[in-house]
């Protein structure tokens, strides 16, 4: 086997490794997001279907306070607020909350909300069924919208010793402007 053949083989292996690394770099964000949604890691709540949520039963006499927080990134001109600042919910009961957004400008703006749960350990038990944050939101000039989120706190929350003493969970959103192109 000649030196050129070995060099070509080494070159092809190096190119394959580099290609695999580039592929993993592009796949890392969606894979990380899927991992966080499945595990609650990083303050990202779980996401379930209506059918899955229907299987969860509320626990009478067991409740927790949910605090709502709404923000916009610097430079995003929207007004964004929760309709109420807190809700007391029965553990396991589906609950509906609304957030209001307004585009006070004279041009169309598309936004995407990122979200987080605090304390982060509680994210594994905070489950979203429907949320405006799952898709981009486009507001016309001077348009105001009311955006829902349907959620529940998984009853397994009560069995986790790390959740003892947690009386409130914060659901926080930040809207970011999405630029096309």
56 pLDDT above the threshold of 70 = no
8 Å CB contact between 157 and 117: no
* pLDDT grade for 27, boundaries at 50, 70 and 90: low
Query: Would you place residue 135 in the very low, low, confident or very high pLDDT band (cuts 50, 70, 90)?
Result: very high
CATH number at residue 152: 2.60.370.10
Q: Which domain holds residue 17?
A: 3-39
My answer on whether 8 and 49 are in the same domain is no
Task: With beta carbons less than 8 A apart as the criterion, state whether 80 and 101 touch.
Answer: yes
Considering the domain architecture, whether residues 56 and 128 belong to the same structural domain is answered as yes
Cβ-contact 106, 98 below 8 angstroms: no
Q: Are residues 35 and 94 in the same domain?
A: no
Residues 90 and 167 in one domain: yes
Does 75 lie in the same domain as 153?
A: yes
- pLDDT for 51 beyond 90: no
Mean pLDDT throughout 57-76? 90
Q: 109 and 146 in one domain?
A: yes
15 in helix, strand or coil? helix
Is a pLDDT exceeding 70 seen at residue 154?
Answer: yes
Tokens of 132: 């405006």
Please, which pLDDT band fits residue 97 given cuts at 50, 70 and 90?
A: very high
| pLDDT at residue 42 in the model | 46
Cβ(57)–Cβ(160) below 8 Å: no
Asked if pLDDT for residue 174 goes beyond 90, the answer is: yes
- Mean pLDDT along residues 142-153: 96
pLDDT class of 22 with cuts at 50, 70, 90: low
Residues 100 and 137 in one domain: yes
**Better pLDDT: 6 or 108:** 108
The span from the CA of 127 to the CA of 106, in Å, is: 36
For 104, residues 6+ apart whose C-beta sits below 8 A from its C-beta are: 77, 78, 79, 142
> Residue 35 pLDDT > 60, yes or no?
no
Strand 86-90: give its sheet, edge to edge.
86-90, 63-72, 168-177, 109-118, 137-139
Q: Is the pLDDT of residue 136 over 80?
A: yes
Residue 166 has pLDDT above 90, yes or no: yes
Residue 123 shares a structural domain with residue 90 = yes
Q: Does the structure show a pLDDT above 70 at 8?
A: yes
Question: Is residue 24 predicted with pLDDT exceeding 80?
Answer: no
Q: What is the pLDDT of residues 111-134, one digit of tens each?
A: 999 999 999 999 999 999 999 999
Number of domains present in the structure of the chain? 2
Q: What three-state secondary structure class fits 39? A: helix
Q: Pick the residue with more confidence: 88 or 5?
A: 88
């Amino acid at each position: 086997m000649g030196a050129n053949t070995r060099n070509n083989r080494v070159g092809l292996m190096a190119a394959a490794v580099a290609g695999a690394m580039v592929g993993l770099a592009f796949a890392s964000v969606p894979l990380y997001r899927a991992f966080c949604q499945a595990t609650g890691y990083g303050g990202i709540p779980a996401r379930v279907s209506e059918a899955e949520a229907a299987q969860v039963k509320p626990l009478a006499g067991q409740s927790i306070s949910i605090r709502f927080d709404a923000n916009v990134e610097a430079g995003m001109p929207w007004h964004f607020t929760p309709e109420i600042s807190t809700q007391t919910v029965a553990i396991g009961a589906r609950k509906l909350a609304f957030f209001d957004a307004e585009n006070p400008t004279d041009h169309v703006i598309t936004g995407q909300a990122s979200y987080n749960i605090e304390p982060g350990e509680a994210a594994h038990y905070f489950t979203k069924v429907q949320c405006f944050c799952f898709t981009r939101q486009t507001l016309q000039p001077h348009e105001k919208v009311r955006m829902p989120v349907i959620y529940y706190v998984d009853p397994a929350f009560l069995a986790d010793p790390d959740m003892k003493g947690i009386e409130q969970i914060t659901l926080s959103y930040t809207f970011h402007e999405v630029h096309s192109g």
